[in-house]
Chains A and B, each alone.
Chain A
Amino acid sequence: MNINISKYVLFTAVFFLTSLLSCKKDFLNKKPNTNIVIPSTLADMTQLLDDTNVYNTSLDIVSADEYLYTSTASVKQIEKNAYVWLPDIYRGEKPISDWTLPYNRIFTANVVLEEWEKLSEIDKNSVQGKYVKGWASFTRAFQYYSLVQLFSKAYDKSTAESDLGMPLKLSPNVNNIEQRASVQKTYDFIISELESSINLFSNAFPTQNRNRPSKAAALALLARTYLCMAEYEKALNAANASLSYYDQLLDYNGISKTASKPFDRFNVEILFYDQANQGFPSIFTGASARTIVNSELISTYDDNDLRKVIFFSKSGQNSIIKDGYSTSALPFKGIAVDEVYLIKAECQIRNNDKEGAVSTINKLLEKRFATGLYTPFYSDSPSVILDKILTERRKELIWRGLRWCDLKRLNVSGANITISRTLDGKTYTLAPNDRKYVLPIPDDEIAYSRIQQNIR
């Protein structure tokens, strides 16, 4: 009908659209929120790894024999179940932060590693570039170490190839689901990640950012890993190497005996800072403490041992744990120099270096006793020395979750430690090498990835 109208319409429409379309693409590429970052630079990656609020595991402390309940009124069901090592501790509850948080950090590290590959060669080879890559590798090693302690059997050379380890998730892709690798593979991965980060790290130590790993921290974790594998020679080498880069101990004589938070967050002993997650209030420290310290353990501290008053406070007859190296209600789960000394001492005696072991343990304990009141330990008997070292290890590293893997590894090597607990009038015992030393994998993981469950 009316051709001229159509012309008008067409002309105007074309004019409309072309005038605006030209610059549209750039217009819509604007970031919607200044707080939102598409992580792509080394600075972004550093900030992703710097998130100190995604915490480490807690169930290792919950399951070990360091505390007792006085009342279970406000205790969560899972804690109670884990306290007495029931076969099914979660009873369908999910998510379980001891599983999800480590994997969340692995995810972040995987994102960083994937983005890192997209950097320019100059960035990759820069000091910060190498450090960031090493940091991401260290993060994966540290988290897989924590996971394997809880959800797999203790390392036993004879069965490690067939024992079920962790699903090794190495990419951030949400759609890739991994089945469980063997324990051997899991430990091999941890070691290779640590070795790669040790090669990437410089010798510098980040005294102001103790959440950031260093060569000393990576070597310390390597020592801890080898200790778990009963590779004492390698553990000793790693511990010595770690101490060669950083070996400062804190003298407890300078620490307040009355303060409710005795330690400082810049505490010189911290090699690598981490703390337990808040899923399980049983293990809270300080003012939030809900449980009492195992009195049998308390009795092992000498009266001149400053740790007795710095670590604990009295509530009537009972002792309550104060805030430790984490300086918060959540226990310290990182690595500190005292642990490296203890690893070193243990490996020395296991390699029959009696003098070395005695000297190492004395070096540590001197810093723990009131000045002038420490009588240096001496013994000629390897078993007495080992006993002393293991006892000191338990006393020094209390509430750090290390007791649980010690129980596991020592029982594998025949220590034959049975622990028992009483709840609601019923007594439960955990025999050496019991299947219940391996926690069940959370139900949601089983449901969505169909990985193999642990049999308890």
Chain B
Amino acid sequence: MKIIAFNYGRLRLWLPPKILLIMRLIIIIMTTCLLQVSASSFGQQVTLSEKNVSLEKIFQLIRQQTGYDFLYDGKEIQSAKPVDVNFKNLDLRGALKKCLEDQGFEFEIGDKSVVVTKKTSSLIDRIAGALTNIDVRGRVTDESGNALPGAVIKVKGTNRSTSANDKGEFFLGNVDEKAVLIIAYVGYETREVAAAKDLGTVSLKLANNALEEVNVTVSTGYQTLPKERATGSFAHVDNKLLNRSVSTDILSRLDGVTSGLIFNKDANRTGFSKEGGDPGISIRGRSTLFANTEPLIILDNFPYDGDLSNINPNDIESVTVLKDAAAASIWGVRAGNGVIVLTSKKGKINQAPKISLNSNFTFSGKPDLYKVPQMTSKQYIEYEKFLFDNGEYDLYLDYIPTNVQSPVIDILEKIRKNPGSKDELTKQLNALGQIDTRDDFTKYFLRNSLNQQYALNVNGGSATNQYFISGGFDRNLLNQVSDSYNRFNLSANNSLNLLNSRLTLDANLLFTRSRTVRNVAPYRGDTYPYEQLVDQNGNALPVIRDFRQASKDELSNIGLLDWNYYPYNERLNNGNVSTLIDYRLGLHLNYKILPEILNFDVNYLFQQGNSEQNTNYDQSLYYTRLQINQFSNTEPSGTINYPVPLGSIIYNSNNKYISNSGRLQLNYRQQFGSKHEINAIFGTEIKDYNSNAKIDQLYGYNESTATSVPVNQFIDYQKRIGYTSRIAVNNSQSGTVDRFFSYFANGSYSFDKRYILSASARKDESNLFGVDANKKGVPLYSIGISWDISRENFYKFSLLPYLRLRLTDGYNGNLSKNLSAYTTAEVIAGFNRYTSPFQRIVNPPNPSLSWEKVHVYNVALDFGFKNNVIAGSVEYYSKKGLDLIGNSPVAPQTGLLQFTGNTADMLTKGLDVSLNSLNVNRKIRWTTNFLLSYVTDKITSYKLQKGINQTIVEGNYLNPIVGKPYSSIFSYKWSGLDDKGNPVGLLEGEKTADYAAILNSIDINNLDYIGTSGPSYFGNLRNNFEYKGFELSFNISYKLGYYFRRGSFSPLGSGGYKQADYNKRWQSPGDEKITNVPSLVYPLDPQRESFYNGSSVLIEKGDHIRLQDIQLTYTISNKLKNTPFKNFKIYGYVNNLGILWRANKLGMDPDYTGNGNYSIPTSKNWSIGLTAGF
């Protein structure tokens, strides 16, 4: 038995005497109670001969010999000095006297127990103590003798400590001469030394902590806590890992190093809107259908309201990802998609100014346009001729002769009208067949990109303040010639300790200015594949756009501007510039009401951003010339009028936001005895976010005078070519306001570091729904427990010295900004037919509207094998999305088709495995990090079964099917081609080519369910090798268990020639045995197209393994003695290296193929850089 007496020692410093008195009385009563039953003699004899053992050990030995139990305060006894004892056959009292002599402990012997308490020293004792005490001096350095300013020197067993000055020197007065000093410095191994008047130099060894995450503290945005004290699921990415990759933005640095986190590639995303669309980053899959899908991003204390690309990665110290309810529910209704907390760098107390510099260059080659499959120009001409011969263009050629026709159709029409010219014109066609626009585009419109990054920071501090000041500059020359991105960051924070360190005042500032120039539209291939952009002499050539060339030519001599479009001449125009300015100012005040126990925070944050996009369509640009020409008219006298005036057309859009956030928070932390600890925070928070968007369009703009000319937007003008139309003037203004008012609380109780119980709750109210609905809001809460099994006495498994189980359960919330509890109408942009503004009802009244809730369970096992050969965690979770915003059908006579409310549910389950192993730890050090995530989801309730099978195949995410994943791929059953090259499907088990019936079927059994378009398994394998100053690591990523739909042959598809399988198409009977690509038929049959493109034959497995990146660094540490550098590191990094293995046999990269489309793969990036510290 081991009883711990109630500890009141810590309270002594801060509590008024009255309480102390009460407590002492309790102790005395307790003690006397025990003493009352002590009557027997204590005749047992004790023999001990031990050197340098702890008192606890002594007590244990005495207990063995006498059977007496010991009652004591574990913490006090542990902090006692070890003792040497050597005696034989002493009685218990004598033995205890010997052992506790000089230790300042008293004891009382009771019935079979001994109570040991700390001796209350009398005044004389204290004076005597002071006389024997000494003053200690010393200096702390690293192994090579460099001072470690700020190193902490603590007297063991007391609260006394000091820190080293900038020369590494320290002084501690009045220390017990037998005391032990603990000397610690972050990143170095902690040492204990015996106190002495002059300690001389104490050198600390670099800590070998690459593997074991020592002292990992995770941040929730409300508090930071050691990871071992958290019950929830946190993924922590430290500074070293963040800096492993090189990038302009911060979030991409989490790719491949964070478990449970997946970066959704554009080609496979089901949309890009914040509401409903696939987000760029998903944490543990998806748990909403149509509401917000994006994780919440916190910078330090508050959500970052600006553009995330503003954040300079060099200012970020670490990142914490909050994955389950216990971790994230403190963020309430915004935590449903997980939370990412960015923690910025800070200065350090008592540290001389430290300067560090980071600079790098990243190169990448021109994007490879040829990676997207397309028909050759020759094939496309052949295809156009096929359509032309079938009369596809006749209606337009006769009926609307001004309608734009491709150069090929133009030539074919000329041949038809004048067969005599056939030979010559055929030559022209052949010449066009030799041209591939991509050649010119690659040569003149693309370049190698170069990104430069420079970051410099200074940080340090004195005893009462700490500061961090940094500046960053990024200059990216992008792949399209004349496109660029520049960013300037300034950040500063300063923290002051006032009133004897009871008050801490923090101020921080973040400023970003960026400038983006985008002139060249990327190569989309939406016109003709055989356009030549530049002639042999380097002169710009016109291309055909908007109207038939002949109709433009007819108008070329009437005194108007040139009607032709010369892309080459416009590629260097700097007309499209976006500038963005963002400020973030934070004030934080912390006052310690009861130091170490109770303090409160006042946080205030102001953030403002202004982004302006100025598009100046100069008169020299085709866009402007066309507008001016189109609206112009010629009076009988010959005078030309310009309703769209000469001069530039200016298009300014301005987006502004201002956000104010405030928080009051009370933090409570107290230890009771040595084993009980309570931590709690509670507080309230308020937020007001306002945004404004404004668009102005000006005509006839003259840059030098900054004047413009008004246009009449209400007159129907007969255009030179085509219909009557009005001059579009886009002037609009709109604004949004988000307001939140929240209460929150979070607490944990831990017992003996073995058991931790945590709970948190939060209630949000917001203006989004209206106050009535909010009143019904349920607070979102979580509970969690953690059990450190390896701390149990019965735990004897020495091979696995660390084993911990965590369980959490709770609710996070999510919201959709598109809904309201009231009848709301929306003012529709623009005018109605008779130029009146109008509104439309967007939301019928829904008084029962509430937040979406996500019920999250998490079970986790953390473990570490002996010597950390393998350490890691396995986590299983399930997320039940409840009351999700979903559609349910209503009778159309109500005026609505469906009612949007809290009607749907879904279930997401998964597993996150994270393993770190230390494979070799000699001169060469080899470590491996392995991440595996499994995620699967299923719609469990959805009331609207919408539409025909075509809508399920083409947009399942809009038509969720109960029992299937959100991103299901359904396809039409395929049974090959018939002997005419027509695709054949299956309907009710029968082969059929009745495409309309297949598309319109409402029986889902007529479709194949293939799987999901998101990976079920994904993760990374990262190997690191260290040898002397070198470090090499490479990261292999994998995505498994999913499918994608590839594009094939679709004559009706956009960008007509962007198709892969034209030359594999069925051309003559028998081909059906060797190909699945249908024949080309006329008239084009859209339903046949839809069937083929949605059929199972075009679904491929997405599984693949990719070599994501390689990093090599060299750190110079020994040779820096006579240089100004404290540290110096050079590094190289290569990204996007390519696929190692893929399941599809077609050589396709599933990250750039999906939804029937192909995108241009990201080129390899090569980076080199250096960091230096002064």
Contacts and interface: CB of A to CB of B under 8 A. Distances in A.
A52 B895 contact: no
Contacts of B739: 27-28, 30
Interface stretch (B226-234, B361-369, B827-835, B1069-1077): B827-835
A12 interface: yes
A355 to B, nearest CB: 39
B767 interface: yes
A44 B735 CA distance: 18
Contact of B767 (A31, A261, A448): A31
A177 B844 CA distance: 15
Interface residues of B, number: 79
Given A30-B737, A51-B828, A103 B894 contact: yes
Interface residues of A, number: 82
B844 A211 contact: no
B890 A448 contact: yes
A265 B833 contact: yes
A138 interface: no
Nearest to B597: A5
A32 B820 contact: yes
B893 A449 contact: yes
A197 to B, nearest CB: 19
B1002 interface: yes
Contacts of B664: 16, 19-20
A24 B741 contact: yes
Interface string A90-105: 0111111001100111
Interface in B762-784: 765-768, 770-771, 774
A30 B768 CA distance: 9
Interface stretch (A70-78, A246-254, A300-308): A70-78
A4 interface: yes
B841 A108 contact: yes
B737 A33 contact: yes
A174 interface: yes
Interface stretch (B159-167, B394-402, B613-621, B984-992): B394-402
Contacts of A208: 834
B839 A39 contact: yes
A74 B766 CA distance: 49
Interface in A184-239: 208-212
Nearest to B670: A5
Contacts of B889: 444, 447-448
A381 interface: no
Interface string B822-861: 1111111000111011111110100000000000000000
B996 interface: yes
B666 A169 contact: no
B686 interface: yes
A194 B766 CA distance: 44
B370 interface: no
Interface in B726-770: 733-739, 741, 743, 765-768, 770
B724 A261 contact: yes
Nearest to B832: A52
Nearest to A266: B834
Given A169-B894, A177-B891, A47 B767 contact: no
Contacts of B892: 95-96, 99-100, 103, 442, 444-445, 448
A104 B891 CA distance: 11
Given A16-B664, A28-B765, A73-B1083, A178 B839 contact: no
A295 to B, nearest CB: 18
Contacts of A19: 664
A260 B718 CA distance: 12
A17 B893 contact: no
Given A20-B684, A36-B820, A38-B822, A74 B1086 contact: yes
A2 B14 CA distance: 11
Nearest to A99: B892
Contacts of A24: 741, 765
A9 B666 contact: yes
B640 interface: no
B734 A5 contact: no
A12 B1083 CA distance: 79
A93 B1000 contact: yes
A50 B832 contact: yes
A448 B891 contact: yes
Contact of B948 (A52, A92, A108, A169): A92
Nearest to B22: A1
A29 B683 contact: no
B834 A209 contact: yes
B947 interface: yes
A172 interface: yes
Contacts of A2: 11, 15, 19
Given A28-B774, A29-B771, A33-B736, A9 B598 contact: yes
B896 A28 contact: no
Contacts of B1002: 92
Nearest to B839: A47
A423 B889 CA distance: 35
Interface in A426-456: 442, 444-445, 447-449, 451
Interface string A7-25: 0110011001101100011
Interface string A239-283: 000000000000000000000110011000000010000000000
Contacts of A261: 723-724
Given A9-B598, A50-B832, A33 B735 contact: yes
A375 interface: no
A91 B949 CA distance: 13
Contacts of B1000: 77, 91-93
Contacts of A264: 716
Contact of B839 (A20, A44, A71): A44
B600 A12 contact: yes
A39 B891 CA distance: 24
Nearest to A320: B399
Interchain residue pairs A-B with the least CB separation, the first 8: A107-B895, A449-B891, A448-B891, A34-B735, A50-B838, A47-B839, A52-B833, A52-B832
Interface of B: 11, 15-16, 19, 395, 398-400, 593-594, 597-598, 600, 664, 666, 668, 682-684, 686, 688, 716, 723-724, 733-739, 741, 743, 765-768, 770-771, 774, 817, 820, 822-828, 832-834, 836-842, 844, 889-897, 899, 947-948, 996, 1000, 1002, 1083-1086
Given A92-B1000, A93-B948, 17 more contacts: A5-B597, A5-B598, A9-B598, A16-B683, A34-B733, A34-B736, A48-B825, A48-B838, A48-B839, A95-B892, A103-B895, A111-B841, A174-B890, A174-B894, A265-B716, A315-B398, A445-B891
Interface of A: 2-5, 8-9, 12-13, 16-17, 19-20, 24-25, 27-39, 44, 47-48, 50-54, 71, 73-74, 77, 91-96, 99-100, 103-108, 110-111, 167, 169, 172, 174, 176-178, 208-212, 260-261, 264-265, 273, 287, 313, 315, 442, 444-445, 447-449, 451
